[in-house]
Structure 1
Amino acid sequence: MAPGRRHRAGADPPSSVTPSWPTQQLAEFLSLISCFNDEKTATQRGIEHVAEVLDAEAAALVRGGAVITAIGFAEGEVPIEPLVAVADGSRQTLPVPGAGECEAVSVPLEDDRPLHLVVARRPDKPFQPDELGLLRGMGRVLTLGLRNLRLLENERALRSGSERQASENARLLGAVRERQVLVERLAQLQRGIVDRLPVHEVLEAALEGACELLGDQVGVLRLTDPDDPFHTMLVASIGAETELLTERRHQPLTAGLGGRAMRQRGVVVADAVSGIASPEVTGDFPAMGLTAA
């Protein structure tokens, strides 16, 4: 920030302090701090307002041996050691560019960690008792405001964490339920095999389980024709259209998505994104109007 501070337009100069002036300034300061949603912005705007109200050349927040934020100094030229000295009470003046050696006061803020509000003004305008009282009052307002913002930040972080945890729990619950369905279906298939059910019933049960797990309405199961390895035969289906079932029961191995999956020995996806969900590609399904397979 540029060196030096200008008096805020509309603010009463220190020489014209009236009994109601400190109360009015504290009310304005409280309203200002309450407008912000984050501690960093509230801190910066807060000390700017303090400097404007007290017609100060510079102001800063000091914690331990560090300057949290400061105004009235050029970037990179903040006098850290003098500010720390004023904060701990070992110094009563502060060098401010463009204003010279200024009278400086420090107000401790009631925070969880030691924090001081340092304000400096030209030596020809010494701080009056009413102004020092106002400064202490503004320090208390700033402390409470920053504390409330930290509580809100913590609450938002906890709420965000809870929402993320709830979302993750829901995802895990869905995965567990899917796995449970899969295990139940596999158990049914195993029982069917042990009970020596007819092969077509076992194959239909396998297809039903796959469709249920994936949430699909149409499904087919094809096997290589034992009498003709260059053709496939449909051995189980779900959601098939009766008029197409007989027509597409026996297909060349090169036909459709099922034949492609059998040739590649892997999973094949066809949808609007891949751009290959055409009637030619899904022609081995005994159903029309498919958009993905």
Structure 2
Amino acid sequence: MLSRLRSAAPHVSSALSYQTNRVFKNTPIETTYYCFLNANAFSSKVATASADSSPSSNQISDKPEVKVNLNAMFWSKPCSLALAKDSPLRIEDPDFSAIKRFIFKLLLFYSKQSKSIRGANVVYGRILYQVDRPPIYDVFNLEKTFKTTFSLLVLHMWLVLRWLKEDGKEGTEFGQYLYEIYNHDLELRVAKAGVNLLLTKWMKDLEKIFYGNIVAYDAATTQEAKHEDLANVLWRNIFSEDGSDSMRDAASTSVQAMARYTRRELTCLSMTEKEAMYSGNFLFTPLTSPTQQTGKKVR
């Protein structure tokens, strides 16, 4: 099964709703599917993987060097991630009138649950827009495998779920819709990678890893946590091939940059308007132009 996963061809996820596709239909979302390996959850699978099908242990250093100055990135002052009112990327509910609006009300289109589901679909589309496109892999010098894609997906889910959790009951309910959409998309990704007979088992394993990562990120960003805790967690969850705690020197710059990126996104999301968060009318910090991320260091 491991070899089938590693040899799977790229696929495009079809889990987004119609409204989300309206925004991202012109954006190619290329995702390569590989077996997700975690030292704690999948140690037995690692032992059985064949040497010729295993990714290189030099995942970061072997990748063609991207000419970005990571040490100068993600120091700029945090700001709201909400889209401008006139942004063409905004998604608004259709403003029906008269008989059409009456009919759609009867169909519960404007119910709280329906609005939350539509909003959660858009929010998940924003996460995919950041995770599935090449810039995030180029900037942090990561190979695009199922492991890295899944780990980045979990990281950005955590960023949003943390904001929602802090918003109380409404945020918790919205977060459940978001998680269900994520879980459905993940199941499609794993199935398309060639896992059919053991799909349920893989989903349970990935669910354990998801919640384990969430707990680790929460612990690494508390006031009591050490400054280097977040970088260490990001190394284990995203960069490390074998789940080792020892960070390689070659990866240190990328890991530290991702730690700054994560902290900055947390602050930016805390500054983002509630309406933008629940409607999905926000974008994570663009990673297309490293020069845009430079600036005065924020203490």
Q: TM-score range by the shorter chain?
A: under 0.3
Report which structure shows greater RCO (CA 8 Å, sep ≥6).
2
* Greater share of residues in helix: 2
Query: When the two structures are superposed, what TM-score results if normalisation uses the length of structure 2?
Result: 0.28
Q: Which one has a larger percent strand, Structure 1 or Structure 2?
A: 1
Larger radius of gyration: 1
